Structure 1
Amino acid sequence: MLTWAQLVVFMPAALAVAASPGANNLLAFRNGLRSGFTSAVLALAGRFTAFVIMLALVVAGLGAILHSSQVAFEILRVVGVVFMIGFGAWIIWSARAQHEPGHDEEKVTAQTRETAAPPMRLAVQEFITAGANPKALLLFTAFLPPFVDTSANVAASGVQLAVLGVFYIICEAAMALIWAGSGTLLAARGIKKRTLRRLDQASGGALVAFGGGLAVSDLSRR
């Protein structure tokens, strides 16, 4: 099993990684901003479903196969690039399409935000964003293993990997709630439609940038 020494080193690192402004955290912030805290929290089920599947695959050994397969990994990367750029472009286009001349100074009410999008749709977006991002795969295949005690047998190492994965998902959930809550608090200050539209455009632009960075980055697994 894991020792306190392992956890003392692992938990701060996990919190730092989970808090980073990646594609999923940015999406949680936007969901909190546009749809309210409850919808944003329910949407997180999509992200963590994808993470649990990834962790199960890694523990089962299938993640190692994908991790070592250049073709499979590149296919996953292309899917992630297409989705992030396409989703970001859609957000930008939607923000422009929602522009109503003469109504920019109106404020968006909490009731309007809560009915902005059904939680199931937001959960699907969270799931695809997490599942199509090869950096999420690298998280479980490259970030977790160094914290495993390699002196243990294969079964014990697998248990340690699974437990570390669960701890990371807990850290990710805590940080995701903060991101979603930050978006909700910002909206609660009486955000104007113009400001909301600009934030949407910034979020969409950031997703396009993430996708572009993913397209040109060298995600070496050696």
Structure 2
Amino acid sequence: MLIEPGQLLLFVVACWLLNLTPGPDVLYIVTRALRGGRRAGFLAVAGISAGCLVHVAVASLGLGVLLATSATLFIAIKWIGAAYLLWVGVRMLRADAAPVLPAAGAAPLAAAGSPWQVFAGGFLTNVLNPKVVLFFLAFLPQFIAPSEQNKTLAFALLGGVFIVNSVPVNASYVLLADRMRSSRWAARGMRWLDRVAGVLFIGFGMRLALSTRPLP
């Protein structure tokens, strides 16, 4: 057995708790859902999940160890990711207020961007953060028995469970944001929401830029 049932249950609970913690991914999902409705929100979730798949694959194949031990590689990816988050933040600060329709879920997707733009934005928000793959390298092995022979398969399995567990949590954020967008507050406050989200994305980018490489 790759993973003991007790360890798997503990892992599932830990995943849910971690996914409930707001970060760049959650902020991206909520802002896209508020602008473009459920479809935009779910496309954002799909993009972020695709980014997580990349991180799991990288960590499972052992390439994550290279990222963890190579200062040059870590710094390069870190600055690319930080620049992207800063760019997203500046775009939000400069964005025009999007119209919010009275019926929840009825917004045109164009208010959040094209389907590809929404998906790609979620993907890049996740995949350009080197801290995510380092998180997988530090978190997942705790639930794999030292005696397990096929650690690569066990690692990939846990990564898949983590991604699957994140979907209902992220979907809940989408539905909540879609419901909020039908309120009068959302109609009047979208411009301010973009400003707050822009500042937060800039903060996430600066925090990533100032982060240091963990010791091997």
Fold similarity call, TM over 0.5: yes
User: Could you tell me how far 1:188 is from its partner in structure 2?
Assistant: 2.1
Q: Is the 8 A contact 1:50 1:127 kept in 2?
A: yes
Do residues 217 (structure 1) and 188 (structure 2) align?
no
Query: Structure 1 residues 199-208 or 8-17, which shifts more?
Result: 8-17
Partner of 1:129 in structure 2?
A: 125
Q: Paired residue for 2:147, among 136, 151, 158?
A: 151
Q: Is the 8 A contact 2:74 2:213 kept in 1?
A: no
Task: Using structure 2 for the length normalisation, give the TM-score.
Answer: 0.90
Partner of 1:108 in structure 2?
A: 100
Partner of 1:8 in structure 2?
A: 9
Partner of 2:79 in structure 1?
A: 78
Task: Using structure 1 for the length normalisation, give the TM-score.
Answer: 0.88
Q: Is the 8 A contact 2:32 2:40 kept in 1?
A: yes
Q: Is the 8 A contact 1:85 1:207 kept in 2?
A: yes
For residues 31 and 71 of structure 1, do their structure 2 counterparts lie closer, same or farther at Cα, with a shift above 3 Å needed? same
- For residues 90 and 41 of structure 1, the distance between their equivalents in structure 2, rounded to whole angstroms, comes to 21
- % same residue: 26
The one-letter code of the counterpart of 2:75 is E
Q: The residue matched to 1:206 in structure 2 has which SS? A: helix
* 1:64-85 deviation line (CA, Å, top 9, x unaligned): 2222111101111111111111
Do residues 182 (structure 1) and 173 (structure 2) align?
no
1:15-30 aligned at under 5 Å gives the runs: 15-30=16-31
Q: CA RMSD in A?
A: 1.8
User: Could you tell me how far 1:42 is from its partner in structure 2?
Assistant: 2.2
Ranges of 4+ aligned residues in structure 1 off by more than 6 Å: none
Q: Paired residue for 2:194, among 181, 197, 200?
A: 200
- For residues 66 and 120 of structure 2, the distance between their equivalents in structure 1, rounded to whole angstroms, comes to 26
- For residues 54 and 182 of structure 2, the distance between their equivalents in structure 1, rounded to whole angstroms, comes to 35
Q: Is the 8 A contact 1:30 1:180 kept in 2?
A: no
For residues 112 and 171 of structure 1, do their structure 2 counterparts lie closer, same or farther at Cα, with a shift above 3 Å needed? closer
Query: Structure 1 residues 161-170 or 61-70, which shifts more?
Result: 61-70
- For residues 3 and 90 of structure 1, the distance between their equivalents in structure 2, rounded to whole angstroms, comes to 46
Q: Is the 8 A contact 2:35 2:100 kept in 1?
A: no
User: Could you tell me how far 1:112 is from its partner in structure 2?
Assistant: 4.5
Structure 1, gaps ≥5 residues long: 100-106
User: Could you tell me how far 1:219 is from its partner in structure 2?
Assistant: 4.5
User: Could you tell me how far 1:6 is from its partner in structure 2?
Assistant: 0.9
